[in-house]
Amino acid sequence: MKNFADLTEREVLAVAIASEEEDSRIYMTFAEDLAGRYPDTAKIFEEMAEEERGHRHRLLETYEQRFGAHLPPIRREDVKGFLRRRPIWLTKNLPLDTIRKEVETMELEAERFYSKAAEKAEDVGVRRLLGDLAEEEKGHEKLAVKLTGEILKPDVRAEEDRTRRRMFVLQYVQPGLAGLMDGSVSTLAPLFAAAFATHHNWQTFLVGLAASIGAGISMGFAEALSDDGSLTGRGSPWLRGLTCGLMTTLGGLGHTIPYLVPDAWPNAFWIATAIAGIVVFFELWAIAFIRARYMDTPFLQAVFQIVLGGAIVLAVGILIGAA
């Protein structure tokens, strides 16, 4: 990689042209991705993509006047100090706030690049152009604010807020809740069956640990492979899978950890079982609350479904272990 200070004027212009091309594509990718979810915000990024294409055209004209038609094969990835852009395929289904922060970073970096490039430019025309572009990149944030004010009216903002909440539920709450439910409920039977079959805390802990981790891995892969997010807009499948897998494991570990109570303690088994029972109670009520809060399920219905279901699974585990 080359240091910025070592770039020639020709290479600086070539890097600027390549950067404007890439940024324009990124803005258009954002616009296309947001068109279905946030059509009014997508217009903002279309406007910004058009601005970047205008910058590229002016840079190309200056470059051809100074150095001819051939561009040297150098991009900002070849220069030290540039932040790495996300690959285009990683910009799909990003949350709106994440996209806006990404754009702010892009604008700030572009403004700094043009300011530094203008300082070292020797040709008056090139220096003027780079200085003008630095000011325009600095003004891009103002452009975004202006466009936001013009396009995102209060009713549009309210609709986008509702959409953002739905996307948050689809991308994070739903897979997390599915994992928590599976981890908290499905591991009850094997854990308490092992507990009442052995009356040994350490063996019970090992069974619960294996069940929790195994369920987490299984649920994580199942969630990641079930939907790539391209049609449903549910975001990165691997992020959803990771969320689901971690919450599944945590759900199982919640009532497994009490069995770390040493077997040497008096009444160790009953102490651990009592604590695990209390943990299960709070886990099931937490699941019911999350379902009522985010999944529009009536609270009493959520309590009936989750608490009753969990109690049945718990009872089955105890009966099997005590048989």
Q: What is the mean pLDDT of residues 237-243?
A: 87
Q: What is the mean pLDDT of residues 202-230?
A: 87
Predicted confidence (pLDDT) per residue in 82-136, tens digit: 655 666 555 666 666 667 767 777 777 788 888 888 888 888 888 999 999 988 8
pLDDT over 70 percentage in the chain: 83
Position 192, amino acid: F
The pLDDT of residue 185 is above 80: yes
CA 244 to centroid of chain Cα atoms: 13
Q: In terms of Cα–Cα distance, which of 272, 257, 255 is closest to 314?
A: 255
Q: Which domains does the chain have, with CATH numbers?
A: 1-150 (1.20.1260.10), 159-320 (no CATH)
Give the model's pLDDT for residue 148.
56
Question: What is the pLDDT of the chain when averaged over all its residues?
Answer: 82
Residues 6+ apart with CB under 8 A from 102: 86, 91, 94
Where does the pLDDT of residue 213 fall: very low under 50, low under 70, confident under 90, or very high at 90 and above? very high
Residue whose entry in the numeric block shows the structure tokens 């009713």: 155
User: Does pTM surpass 0.75?
Assistant: no
Q: Which residues pair with 79 in a beta bridge?
A: 2
Residues 6+ apart with CB under 8 A from 112: none
Q: What is the mean pLDDT of residues 279-300?
A: 83
**Six-digit token string for 315:** 């009872």
The pLDDT of residue 190 is above 60: yes
The pLDDT of residue 272 is above 50: yes
